[in-house]
Structure 1
Amino acid sequence: MAATPVTLLVEGATGIGKTALLDVACELARERGFVVCRATASPMEREVPFAVVQQLFEHLREEPLPGRNDETAPHGHDVIAGHFTAEADDPAESRVHQAVRGVYRFTAGLAQRAPLCLVVDDVQWADVPSLRWLNYLVHRVVKLPVVILVSRTPGIRPTDPLLIAELEMYSERMKLAVFTTRDVVQLTERMLGRTPDEEFAAAVIDATSGCPMVTSHVLELMRERSVPPDERAAAALPRPDPVELGRSMLARLNRQSRRLVEVAKAIAVVEPADLDLLAAVLGTNNGAAADQVRQLEGMGVLAPEGALTFAHPVLKSAIDSAVCYEEREELHARAAQFLHDTRAPAPLVAGHVLRTSSRLGAWAVEALRTAADTVIVEGDPRSGAKLLDRALDEDLCAPQRKELLVRLGLAETCFDPRMAVVHLQEGMTGLDDPEEVVAVACRLAQVLYFDGAYDNASEVLRRTMSEIGPKIPAAVDVLRLLERITVPSQDASTGQVDLRRFDEREWRRGDAHGRALAGLIAEDASNRGVDLALCREAALAALSGGVASILQHPQRMVGVLNSLLRADEVELVLRHCDEILLEAHREGLTMITLLGHTLRSRAHHHRGSFAEAVADAELALSATQTARLPSDHFGHVYAVDARVRAQLALGDVDAAEKALQPFGKFRALPHTWHHTALLHARGALRMELGDSQGALADQLECGERFEAWGRPSPALRPWRSYAALAHLRIGRREPALDLASRELELARAWGAPTVVGRALLTVGIATGGAAADPWLTEADSVLRRSSARMLHAEVLLELAGTRWERGQHDAARHHLAEAKKLGEQCGVAVEPGERFAGPASTGTPRAHVPRPAGPTRVVPPDPRTTVLALTPHEHRVAGLVLEGNSNDEIAHKLNVSRRTVEFHLTSIYRKLGVRRRTQLSAALAGFIARK
């Protein structure tokens, strides 16, 4: 810095380092022989004439001036006081002008003795007389060895805008924007006394987006905690404290104007999309609001260009944390009222109503109800329930309250069944509309069924039938059908209904009522094992509303997808499960997530993808822990059932046995649908453990329950096949053949290839010898139309043994090779048994008695095959994982939520057969190396 006359105006947002820059300039000036005179303007001294000038020169009282005889010359402070004190007390223009000229002459006199560096910080707050003197000096500084440095914060309204504009015109201007890496390095050196490396500076820029206030705050926290600016700190920078940062920022805003504090709070809380809403909330006009927004932008609090967003998210959090509860409620109430008055969309209005407990009236109730309907239809019942619950806080008449309670209960059915029961029961009392009574009774019965409260479900349905029967006779058949599906009963009169009484056009029409009826028809047909074609058509009609509609009805979702599985529509079930799980993960619907993984596990088991079945069953069990479900809850029981069956298919008997531990070793299980399904799985486990008598007892008890409940079809559970094999183990061929023949009769009545194929296999095994060949040949033919690959492999293996015994060795080898190929597709090894005479090395078959749970040895999957099974989006997510990105980083790069990334990773883990991130990296790296 030389003594060349210059005026420099430094502009920048609050906290960007203008003052620090002036500090450095002052040090350099002193080193080069300048007399430094410094002042900081303040809003409190705006009305004090020549306050800034006095600050500039008052230190001369203590400091000697070069070339001055201190014993004879007056001090600088006294000279300045003598020039303008009297004139300042006289408001006349001429007096003020005389004072300005007098101070100028004094300044010029000082500059003759030594070069001057005059520094004014925050010049926008300088008093008017000081600003006039400063401009007077700027015009004449070319004649003097004087350097003038001033700083200002853009956006803040100055004491005199015209004088500041004049100062800008005749000054060189330096604009400081956001921090660069170099700025961070310099600021770190100044604040922490150490030079950081580029990695640290880059990490600070990345964390703070170059926002000056946030950067300074982070470095201040490091200084307080004595954290050095090294690699370690770069990986774990201190998180800004919103409370402390908020206090600091509000103090700066308040220093300028109390109104700016109110504006910043309103923007943080209400998040207005435009100036109209902001002005309405503040109770001002658009012009005033726009002016205050510009000031906040200039101070670096808001992002530029009128976006009404903060320069950094932490600034918003800091301001938001400083808003008290009452102030927040009032802001949201004003926003809701304005949006309602301007006919804004209901969800927008309801969003603000939801955030205030103020009683707002009928219009708020209507907005909340409309918004709830919208989000529920879109597949977000949890948010819909929050809106309805808030509506119940308003002053309501009795009919309104009952209507809202019913809506709330219906929304809660898919994520909080027990509260749904409470609200539905309360809302049903006194309902006048018969059709609404029927609809609510059906949903309430289904929720009670899911909770295992069958007696309560039956009571609700029968009471409703007696009340509604005279008014809507057709509704009675629907209620009876629902009772037959949901209430296990040995009473033959329970749920007596003829499906032909339902008009096909009624359940095919595709509206909500039609889909509900179609779902009941599909579930009932598959439960009883009648009319496969009707079951398929009705199931597809029930799903015609898409994922959003099925998410609202967990019972219908389980019933319909189970019906499709029993109809061998495995690929369709898997596709729907994927879509359901994606939405459930996105919306945080734990119960739907649990059921979706359970159903997908069953579908994978059906098609022989046993490793995938285990993975989904484990995810379902994880969801039960998240939901904190008791061990006897239907969701937990279904998940355990799926896991036991899948682990047995893989031959992991220990894991299957461990999964059953919460239910005791082999104690009696309750008489519910879900526990009866678990009884069947437990029987299969006991067979693997060598307890043939126990296995037979479990399968026969399972069958007795289903028969008593009017569910004879093997599509529900093939308990007769498992019991027949247990009889054979014990040496009882006749009862085994009787059970197998009965299962085949029922299976043919149903007609699904998998069910028929299993029954034919069991009949063939029970028949034995050459007489088994026709049954096994037919089973082979039937299962070629089925997706049940492992079951087909068992049939081929049994058929190979039969052909070998008859001397048809080439045919036997062909069947054996085909069985092994199918086994490899399922990830298990198909091993021939003792009945095949010949060297093992030649692959000639030996005897084989198949176990119901399937083969025992796992074949490691080919990583290339499993990686190719990934979708393009899963490939991209997996690639980002391999690059070392965290879930949050992947979500940011793909512009999706963290929950969506987690969902895709779950699918990737399942397809690759891995459980941890490190295993995923290894699997992907191996695939890339082979490519």
Structure 2
Amino acid sequence: MADEASRCQSGTTLVGRTAELTRISEALAAASAGTPSALLLAGPTGIGKTTLLKAACGAARERGFLIGRAAASPMEREMPFAVVQQLFEHLSERLPPDDADQVAKHGRDVIGGTLGEAQTDFGDLHVHRAIRGVYRVAAELTRHGPLCLVIDDVQWVDVPSLRWLNYFLHRMTDLPVVVLVTRTSGLRATDPLLVAELRMNGERLELPGISAEDVVALTEQVLGQPPDEVFVTALLTATGGNPLVVRQLLTSMRGQSVPPDRTGVHHLGKWGPEVLGESVLARLNRQSPGLVRTATAIAVVEPADADLLAAITGVDLATIRSHVRELRGMGVLAPADKLAFAHSVIKNAVENATCEEEKQRLHATTARLLHGSGASSVMVARHAQRSAAPLGRWAAESLQRSANALIAEGDPRSAAKFLRRALQEEVTPDLRRDLLLRLGLAETYFAPRDAVGHLEEAMRELEDPEQILSAAYLLAQVFYVEGEYDRASKMLRRTMDEIKPKIPSAVDVLRLVHQLTVPAPRTAQERVDLRQIDREDWTGDDARSRLIAAMIAESASSAGTELSLGRDAALAALSRGPAELLGHPQRLLASLNALIRADELDLALRYCDETLLEAQREGLVLLELFGHTLRSRTHYHRGAAVEAAADSKLALSAARSAALPADHFGCIYAADAHVRALLLLGDVDTAREVLEPYGLSAPMPRTWQHTALLHARGAVRMELGDPVGALADQLECGGRFKSWGLGSPAVRPWRSHAARAMFRLGRRQQALELALQELELAREWGAPTAAGLALLTVASVSGGNAGPWLREAESLLRDSPARLLYAQVMVEIAAMEEKSGRAATAQSHLAEARKIGEQRNVLLAPRRATAPVMPEVVPAGPRMTPQTLTPHEYRVARLVLEGNSNNEIAQRLSVSRRTIEFHLTSIYRKLGLRRRTQLSAALAGLEPKT
């Protein structure tokens, strides 16, 4: 019988019903042998009852059964014997001529549909005669072969037909008959007692949702490929194994070419196929239009309780509760107190099938009802935002309060939607200004150019000086990120003139904003004395105090004279976590940079991680870019080259995701971080490629970001053997920073890099003077990393008197977080000790350095006077001899020495550029090299391996 069930199933699109089909096949076989049976198939909407009946009819037809089939509907519930007539009208040809001795007259009248026309009194006597007559018709049919009677949706069968069906089940004890009936769970039957009697007279089969194995089979059937386990689990969770919903989703996936894997999982919650929604609503409408209205309202507005649902739909509470019970029984709603759909896909489908006009009407009605009942602003705003109909000032105020909460919670995109909707209402000028300011604040997170327009519009109408200050802060940072320094300067100077008579103390803060925003030379009188700013102004727990603290932190660390003040101010700005500064990206960057420059690297990493978590949670790509850039810088200062490069790559990826132009502030800072990490790894070629869009020798614009990149470019040019170009870049970088009041070597150690280039060019005295100047500034700043780096530079350009400088650097860096820099100092001391004949001491220092190098996954080598300022590192791995090069690697190396670029080598060897890069990486690793200029000496006298 299992084989027959399989054959039956293979001819349909039915899956997961082997057990039920087997039981039906057994019933058919028994009926053929003279033993009748009745099966009641029950389950929620979409579970596959009708499809199972089709398969059963196919199996009965193969066995030679006569098949009578009927589908009940609400429209025919009041028509006596409507279902009985459907069952037998197509079988009447099998009956002999009308003969009172063979077939009852009442039975033929029912089947022919003439009983209702001739009879107006359907009392018990007439109905009983008709029932007996139809029974005799059915019994006569069994003389022509076994009989299979199939009724779909028995809950809607008219009462006379139900009475006949129960009568027939009692009398068919010796007839070759199978009766198959389906019922949709939850729907109230035309006559519940008669349907209950059916359950007593037959065997009930409850249809469960399909299993994981069934989903696999159905997916292969619809999509032509097997799904992975993650997709199957997600699909079952979303649909509850409802075959109708599963099939509809798979069909939608096929139309969109979405594979049944993790990619498809991300689409499941978003889909609400219109066809599925219409199908569900049509099934509900067959029972009652009221069910449609109730289900639609629940899907669209998700009311908290039945009272609100009744008010929204305009239906009395008792009726609403009855509808909810029916929907739960049907499996449409979840069997719980909360008004929620059983499966998110069905909810989405019903909502998707509802026209936009109806959705907006429902949301507007709900917003008014919630406002009238005193509900929270968040609840009111959620519905007001989704309605375009004018609601009034109360709606704008609810939207405003909700937007404020969303901004505080770190969800600016949703806040901006609420504020834009609030601006569509007729509001007072004061409220409109506040809405524009709030909207500008929200948009600074993700749409800075839109923020400029809204903030400028608000500022034109502002009179409150505190509000003017707030708008000026926001506008300044947007202009900073966009590189629009002229607009920033004009706006800030105009604001200073306007604010000075009203809040004189705010002028110094605005001057500080101008100093940090606009790169321009300033006299000593123009620079703000940070010590003159009242400490209470930046140590408070309000938002304005934290912003002032962030600006003080940036200014102190940039000037390089107030380490403790810069660190304390940065900690004050971040006292409530970086989430409090997410609306002010420039101030967040400033605070984290101040911690990095003060060697508070563990704290900086923690705050970078928190920033990234918030940015990723809320989809704030710009903040994600800044977070990865700053985390890359932090790793760089720790000497963690691999981690620094990984974060800088993620920053560049975020810039691409945000579709930012190449000269955008965020893109250039990410490129700067990536170049510095690549130099630490010794990957000079890739660093040069990163710089190519900006030019390897062209003038750089006078912006904050381009000047930082100028410093990185100088380091790359030094590695490429161009000390003249390197020196020019470093001196230009330093000249700009000095004119802007950024004297700290913690900002960029351009003097150390310039000293290296001068030493390479033979300008030893100038190199030493510049290195000593950097050392003096680094000592004044007080951070061990800045001073240790300056000491190492002085030692490298001081000729044969490096010992005292190296000893001081070793003492200073021993407990610092710059572990790789400390290891490099140990390597230099080891080389010095070995030259002096103290081999044991040298080995001790070298062992300590190597241990740190292993932790950083790099090997350290002694520096030469011409080496770059950062530690010289090569990727970890066994040191190998030149003879280990393959013939192809040897050929690539020779082509490099001939002056060919990677692209030219790839063309000559007919391979991809990526392949050449792979070979060069292998060559550098095997030979212990960092750059192309070392290849010549390494390959001298080398014969290729055969």
Residue in 2 aligned with 1:815? 845
Q: Does structure 1 retain, via aligned residues, the 8 Å contact 2:231–2:260?
A: no
Q: Which residue, out of 462, 466, 479, partners 1:431?
A: 462
Residue in 1 aligned with 2:300? 269
- What is the identity, as a one-letter code, of the residue corresponding to 2:108? V
Q: Which residue, out of 431, 438, 451, partners 1:407?
A: 438
- 2:260, 2:623 → 1: CA distance? 42
Q: Alignment partner of 1:309: what SS?
A: coil
Q: What is the CA-CA distance between 1:267 and the residue it aligns to?
A: 2.4
Q: Deviations over 1:26-71 (max 9, x none)?
A: 5666777876544322223223222223223323431136xx8989
- 2:480, 2:263 → 1: CA distance? 52
Pair 1:787-2:787 in alignment: no
Q: Does structure 2 retain, via aligned residues, the 8 Å contact 1:692–1:726?
A: yes
- 2:659, 2:534 → 1: CA distance? 43
Residue in 2 aligned with 1:758? 789
- What is the identity, as a one-letter code, of the residue corresponding to 1:818? E
Pair 1:580-2:611 in alignment: yes
Give matches, 1:142-181, under 5 Å: 148-168=179-199, 170-180=201-211
Q: Alignment partner of 1:769: what SS?
A: coil
Pair 1:513-2:530 in alignment: no
Q: What is the CA-CA distance between 1:136 and the residue it aligns to?
A: 4.6
Q: Deviations over 1:727-775 (max 9, x none)?
A: 11111122112212211221121111111112222222332213x3222
Residue in 2 aligned with 1:796? 826
Q: Alignment partner of 1:857: what SS?
A: strand
Inter-CA distance 121–650: structure 2 relative to 1 (3 Å threshold): closer
Give matches, 1:313-712, under 5 Å: 313-492=344-523, 495-712=526-743
Residue in 2 aligned with 1:48? 79
Of 724-733 and 307-316, deviating more is 307-316
Pair 1:79-2:96 in alignment: no
Q: What is the CA-CA distance between 1:361 and the residue it aligns to?
A: 1.3
Pair 1:101-2:129 in alignment: yes
Q: What is the CA-CA distance between 1:484 and the residue it aligns to?
A: 2.0
Q: Alignment partner of 1:829: what SS?
A: strand
Number of equivalences:
838
- 1:478, 1:582 → 2: CA distance? 31
Q: Does structure 2 retain, via aligned residues, the 8 Å contact 1:111–1:145?
A: no
Q: Does structure 1 retain, via aligned residues, the 8 Å contact 2:103–2:137?
A: no
Inter-CA distance 76–624: structure 2 relative to 1 (3 Å threshold): farther
Of 721-730 and 477-486, deviating more is 477-486
- What is the identity, as a one-letter code, of the residue corresponding to 1:415? F
Q: Alignment partner of 1:632: what SS?
A: coil
- 1:110, 1:752 → 2: CA distance? 101
Residue in 2 aligned with 1:851? 868
- 1:860, 1:705 → 2: CA distance? 41
- What is the identity, as a one-letter code, of the residue corresponding to 1:687? M
Q: Which residue, out of 810, 814, 824, partners 2:854?
A: 824
Q: What is the CA-CA distance between 1:782 and the residue it aligns to?
A: 0.8
Q: What is the CA-CA distance between 1:478 and the residue it aligns to?
A: 1.1
- 1:357, 1:421 → 2: CA distance? 26
Q: Deviations over 1:70-115 (max 9, x none)?
A: 8995697873349995577555464x53232343155147537747
Q: Alignment partner of 2:45: what SS?
A: coil
Residue in 2 aligned with 1:120? 151
Of 337-346 and 706-715, deviating more is 337-346
- What is the identity, as a one-letter code, of the residue corresponding to 2:840? D
Residue in 2 aligned with 1:890? none
Inter-CA distance 480–301: structure 2 relative to 1 (3 Å threshold): same
Inter-CA distance 576–170: structure 2 relative to 1 (3 Å threshold): same
- What is the identity, as a one-letter code, of the residue corresponding to 1:479? L
Q: What is the CA-CA distance between 1:630 and the residue it aligns to?
A: 1.3
Of 550-559 and 120-129, deviating more is 120-129
Q: What is the CA-CA distance between 1:493 and the residue it aligns to?
A: 5.7
Q: Does structure 2 retain, via aligned residues, the 8 Å contact 1:725–1:736?
A: yes
Q: Does structure 2 retain, via aligned residues, the 8 Å contact 1:521–1:538?
A: yes
- What is the identity, as a one-letter code, of the residue corresponding to 1:575? R
- 1:186, 1:805 → 2: CA distance? 76
- What's the TM-score once normalised by structure 1's chain length? 0.82
- 2:114, 2:413 → 1: CA distance? 71
Q: What is the CA-CA distance between 1:821 and the residue it aligns to?
A: 3.0
Q: What is the CA-CA distance between 1:589 and the residue it aligns to?
A: 0.5
RMSD: 3.7
Q: What is the CA-CA distance between 1:644 and the residue it aligns to?
A: 1.0
Inter-CA distance 120–666: structure 2 relative to 1 (3 Å threshold): same
Inter-CA distance 753–202: structure 2 relative to 1 (3 Å threshold): closer
Q: Deviations over 1:784-841 (max 9, x none)?
A: 13211232233233333444444444333333333333333333222236xxxxxxxx
- What is the identity, as a one-letter code, of the residue corresponding to 2:413? R
Q: Deviations over 1:201-237 (max 9, x none)?
A: 9888678532032245579899x99x9xxx9999999
Q: What is the CA-CA distance between 1:639 and the residue it aligns to?
A: 0.7
Identity score, percent: 53
- 1:197, 1:562 → 2: CA distance? 48
Inter-CA distance 713–143: structure 2 relative to 1 (3 Å threshold): closer
Q: Alignment partner of 2:617: what SS?
A: helix
- What is the identity, as a one-letter code, of the residue corresponding to 1:831? A
Q: Alignment partner of 2:417: what SS?
A: helix
Q: Deviations over 1:364-422 (max 9, x none)?
A: 11221111111111122222222212211111222211111111111222222222221
Q: Alignment partner of 2:90: what SS?
A: helix
Q: Does structure 1 retain, via aligned residues, the 8 Å contact 2:107–2:133?
A: no
Q: What is the CA-CA distance between 1:255 and the residue it aligns to?
A: 2.5
Inter-CA distance 474–46: structure 2 relative to 1 (3 Å threshold): same
- 1:696, 1:426 → 2: CA distance? 47
Inter-CA distance 625–373: structure 2 relative to 1 (3 Å threshold): same
Q: What is the CA-CA distance between 1:12 and the residue it aligns to?
A: 2.0
Of 373-382 and 787-796, deviating more is 787-796
Of 54-63 and 556-565, deviating more is 54-63
Q: What is the CA-CA distance between 1:282 and the residue it aligns to?
A: 1.7
Give matches, 1:848-927, under 5 Å: 849-859=866-876
Q: Deviations over 1:499-527 (max 9, x none)?
A: 22222233222221221111111111101
Inter-CA distance 541–232: structure 2 relative to 1 (3 Å threshold): closer
Inter-CA distance 418–258: structure 2 relative to 1 (3 Å threshold): same
Q: Alignment partner of 1:10: what SS?
A: strand
Q: Does structure 2 retain, via aligned residues, the 8 Å contact 1:37–1:56?
A: yes
Q: Deviations over 1:710-739 (max 9, x none)?
A: 222212111111111111111112211221
Inter-CA distance 81–200: structure 2 relative to 1 (3 Å threshold): farther
Inter-CA distance 470–258: structure 2 relative to 1 (3 Å threshold): same
Q: Does structure 2 retain, via aligned residues, the 8 Å contact 1:87–1:99?
A: no
Q: Alignment partner of 1:540: what SS?
A: helix
Inter-CA distance 297–186: structure 2 relative to 1 (3 Å threshold): farther
